[in-house]
Amino acid sequence: MANYNLTVPISDEDIRALRVGDTVNLSGVIVTGRDAAHKYMIEHFVRTDDVPASEQALYETLREILQGSVIYHCGPVVRQREDDGRWEFVAAGPTTSIREEPYEAEVIEHFGLRGVIGKGGMGADTLQACGEYGAVYFHAVGGAASLIADAVKEVVAVHKKDEFGVPEAFWVIRVEDFPVVVTMDAHGRSIHSEVERKSKDALARLTYSVD
């Protein structure tokens, strides 16, 4: 296990150098996105041959930002400054990622993502996409929302806030030294599936011994 400092955009080479258990301090511009955002991207951008004209500008913006970048499963708590109207993150804890499993593989492929941040891990489709397209799953520490918010140095922009609401909006943020751990890598390894398999094996042994 090693420690890395990575800056967005991240290269395929740098992502494929990461292994499960490595710690990373992540810097650069990333985007938050949860259920509504993923469903929206799939329906309007990914599984269509004709992006609606009204959404073309957002599509081009997201494509530019997400290429080589990271999407963060996060529903932030924010505040707006009175002096200049700029947004700030008050809390930025990770959301349970498995809810995005039906979408994430296609989002990784379509937008050229290098990483996904969340908690709890993801499933087989996302793991396969990580290997095929060069991406990893970064685990952020749950229960440290205020600490993680300190790594958010600037809210660059926000999209779909009025339509989706604050937690579900696309928040474009600049982070510095965002602390994460690689728990799914581009080499087919997922600590989440390993823990689940070992737990099932242990349960089976216990059940057998009781019988």
Residues belonging to the active site: 38
DSSP string, 135-201: -EEEEPPTT-HHHHHTTEEEEEEEESHHHH-TTTSEEEEEEEEEEEEEEE-TTS-BHHHHHHHHHHH
Are 40 and 110 a contacting pair, CB within 8 Å?
no
- By CB neighbour count within 10 A (0-12 exposed, 13-18 middle, 19+ buried), where does 52 fall? exposed
Strands 152-159 and 136-139: unpaired
Strands 70-72 and 115-118: parallel
Collapse the DSSP code of 123 into the 3-class scheme (helix H, G, I; strand E, B; otherwise coil) and give the result. coil
Beta-bridge mates of residue 175: 28, 152
Q: Which two tokens stand for residue 128?
A: 């396969």
